Amino acid sequence: MQKFINKLESSLKDGSFVKLTLSKYVGMRHVTSVQSQSMADIRNVYVKPIILRNEKMFSFTYRYERRDETKNYDAEQSLEIITQLISEVFLNASLFTLTEDVSLMISKKGKVTVMSKSVKEVREQNTEHDKVKNRLINLENPWWFKLGLTTREGKVTADMQHKYKQICKYVEIVDGVMKNVKFDGKIRIADMGAGKGYLTFALYEYLTQRCHYDIAMEGVEIRPDLVVKINEIIKESNMKDFRFVESSIEAYACQQVTKSPSHQDIRLVSSETRRLGDSETQLGILIALHACNTATDDAIIKGIESGAKLIICAPCCHKQIRREMEKSGVVNPITQHGIFKERQAVMITDTIRALIMEYFGYKTQIMEFIEMEHTPKNILLVGRKSEAPVDRESILKQIENIKSQYGIERHYLERIFN
């Protein structure tokens, strides 16, 4: 035991300490003043060096069953706390330094075993306090300030913290989804109803700068003032193969876009020139985030008709099905309550959307987009193009059964069958 403590003390003092993990909780044998908090459900303790207010400190992450707690101590305090945790709370400790790895194991009978091995590779210390290395986007890129997400110093503004969390979650999900899809050559992406462009820019940045995909990104937005503003930011930021076009989702037809040498005059070519499904304009990914009501269905139709390999939607309101349910007069124990009727309309709308996508050969998945505390519009509907055989007759029966049960005459997306 003392051999391990000596190595720990030496690494804390000479700056060679990289990290430490405590595991195999056995319960506190004694009550101590240093560890006064309850540790009844603790699982692990992780220790790493940090620079805090220009001073070397050590960050302790106490991982409990349902929460994490973080506390910072200096070297002397850290040595005392770790020593007490080993002797009173945990049976295993793993110490990592710049030159060696040291493991401590204590049996239930009290036998102590220490093993160490030298480190051959070059090892670095991570003293970042805010986990900058784990960020999926670089907040210092100029477009984030121009879009209003950050200050000039690259810090997320106070009122945009929720949007930043949403952006990171979105990029993480799309990245995971894309890994299961095979793309050939340049990936053409259309973001329908792109709005102010936060998520469009985030995905473009991540795919080009972090993943080094060859992509062509097109944001589709009906408001001309936003299109002009975003294209100015794109031009100023020198972002290649990226543009916003002015169009409604329904009118958008994956047309080729022309641009003047100044990159300011962006216009749609007639849909007679390029139609959906043409090999040169076929979409790889279609995205529609929070497109209102049936605009989500319009986007899904565009994705299916274009043969997109990946369709990603975060549906917004679901008024069309709610109106159908109210018009029919059909009442059951669930939908007789207004709040449940609204939630049921959401589930029915997106379930039928998923079934129709499956009818056209997409393997679908519905997942949480962002936690409920940030927005109630937190469902992400994903469809991956599949070559697997489809039982279309069975799918149609499922759709008809749902409609019959809730008095729905027609789901808006069914117009794709016409």
Residues 111 and 140 in one domain: no
Pick the last residue of a domain from 118, 150, 178.
118
Buried b vs exposed e over 86-117: b needs ≥16 C-beta within 10 Å? bebbbbbbebbbeeeebbbebeeeeeeebeee
For residue 313, tell me if it sits in a domain.
yes
Residues 204 and 307 in one domain: yes
Kindly give the residue spans of alpha helices, DSSP state H, lying in 183-293: 198-205, 224-236
For residue 149, tell me if it sits in a domain.
yes
For residue 291, tell me if it sits in a domain.
yes
Q: What angle do CA 182, 283, 219 make, to 5 degrees?
A: 120
Residues 140 and 109 in one domain: no
Give the model's pLDDT for residue 376.
47
Give the model's pLDDT for residue 346.
86
Give the model's pLDDT for residue 335.
67
Distance CA 115, CA 154 (A): 45
Residues 315 and 408 in one domain: yes
Give the model's pLDDT for residue 202.
95
Residues 180 and 265 in one domain: yes
Give the model's pLDDT for residue 341.
77
Pick the last residue of a domain from 86, 118, 150.
118
DSSP reduced 3-state for 116: strand
Residues 216 and 283 in one domain: yes
Segments forming the whole domain that contains residue 367:
135-417
On average, the pLDDT of the chain sits at 83
Total domains in the fold of the chain: 2
For residue 123, tell me if it sits in a domain.
no
Give the model's pLDDT for residue 134.
54
For residue 124, tell me if it sits in a domain.
no
DSSP H or E stretch at residue 173: helix 161-178
**In the sheet where 242-246 sits, what is the strand order?**
242-246, 215-221, 187-192, 285-289, 310-314, 379-385, 362-368
Give the model's pLDDT for residue 64.
83
Q: What angle do CA 8, 11, 12 make, to 5 degrees?
A: 85
Torsion sign over Cα 321, 324, 325, 326: positive
Give the model's pLDDT for residue 38.
57
Give the model's pLDDT for residue 129.
52
For residue 127, tell me if it sits in a domain.
no
Give the model's pLDDT for residue 87.
75
Give the model's pLDDT for residue 291.
76
Give the model's pLDDT for residue 373.
43
The domain spanning residue 307 has which CATH number? 3.40.50.150
Report the predicted TM-score, pTM, of the whole model to 2 decimal places.
0.62
Residues 295 and 202 in one domain: yes
At residue 248, φ and ψ (nearest 5 deg) are -75, 165
Give the model's pLDDT for residue 418.
80
Spans of the chain, pLDDT less than 50: 30-37, 130-133, 255-279, 281, 371-376
Residues 113 and 165 in one domain: no
Residues 147 and 288 in one domain: yes
Give the model's pLDDT for residue 67.
76
Pick the last residue of a domain from 90, 118, 146.
118
